[in-house]
Amino acid sequence: MIEYDNDERKEEVVRMTKVLIAYSSRGGNTERLAQAVEEGARGVEEVDVVLKRAADVTNDDLMEIDALIVGSPVYFGCMSSEVKEMFDRSVAIRGRLEGKIGAAFTTSGHPTGGKETTMLSILQAMLIHGMIVVGDPISSGGHYGVGTAGRPDSEILDAGKELGRRVCEIAKKLI
């Protein structure tokens, strides 16, 4: 939209909110959930959404974004080494992610299996960066983010979409 003020032409620039969904996946379960989170995020206006494997995420990527949604398979009750490596590399930019929005999702093999400890391990790294973390109020989703055992079903995919949407809406309000 163009406004005219004292004969000066001004352009209103829309600031796009930048959201990165970073994940690791060997068997495809977490990737499928990541794609649902991406779909939910893409439904929000004025948001740039990028989906990337954690191994490919650079510190420059992390500094550019407003929100980071991280997904990992449960490996021994924690995030995978690929996701941990992304966080370990980010120690070089400690202090630069403060105030950004964060959220987590996961898939496990066992019905309990460590989904909550895995999401909490991701949220813990985000809190150490001073990020603002978003939980999941939908009971099917899993309290600390969206988690499921095995291949995500349609209910979990919907919870993933909702997580993506909600994180974007919160980032747009806060940043």
Which residues make up the interface to ligand FMN (CB under 6 A)? Answer: 25-31, 73-77, 107-110, 113-114, 150
Query: Of the two residues 52 and 132, which places its CB atom closer to ligand FMN in the complex?
Result: 52
* 61 token code pair: 């990527």
Q: How far is the CB of 38 from ligand FMN (least distance, A)?
A: 15
CA atoms within 13 A on the CB side of 52: 16
Smallest separation (angstroms) from ligand FMN to the CB of 77: 5
Tokens at 39, concatenated? 């779909």
75 or 144: whose CB is closer to ligand FMN? 75
CA gap 126, 48 in Å, rounded: 21
Q: How far is the CB of 74 from ligand FMN (least distance, A)?
A: 4
Closest CB to ligand FMN: residue number: 113
The three-class DSSP label of residue 49 is strand
By beta-carbon proximity to ligand FMN, the closer residue of 27 and 99 is 27
- Pull the structure tokens for residue 65: 């974004």
Element (H, E) at 71: strand 67-73
Q: Which is nearer to ligand FMN, 47 or 69 (CB)?
A: 69
Number of H helices, E strands in the chain: 5, 8
Q: By C-beta, is 94 or 110 nearer to ligand FMN?
A: 110
State the minimum distance, in angstroms, from the CB of residue 103 to ligand FMN.
Answer: 17
Closest to 168 in 3D by CA, of 12, 64, 39 = 39
Task: Give 154's contacts (C-beta < 8 A, 6+ positions apart).
Answer: none
Closest distance to ligand FMN from the beta carbon of 87 (Å): 18
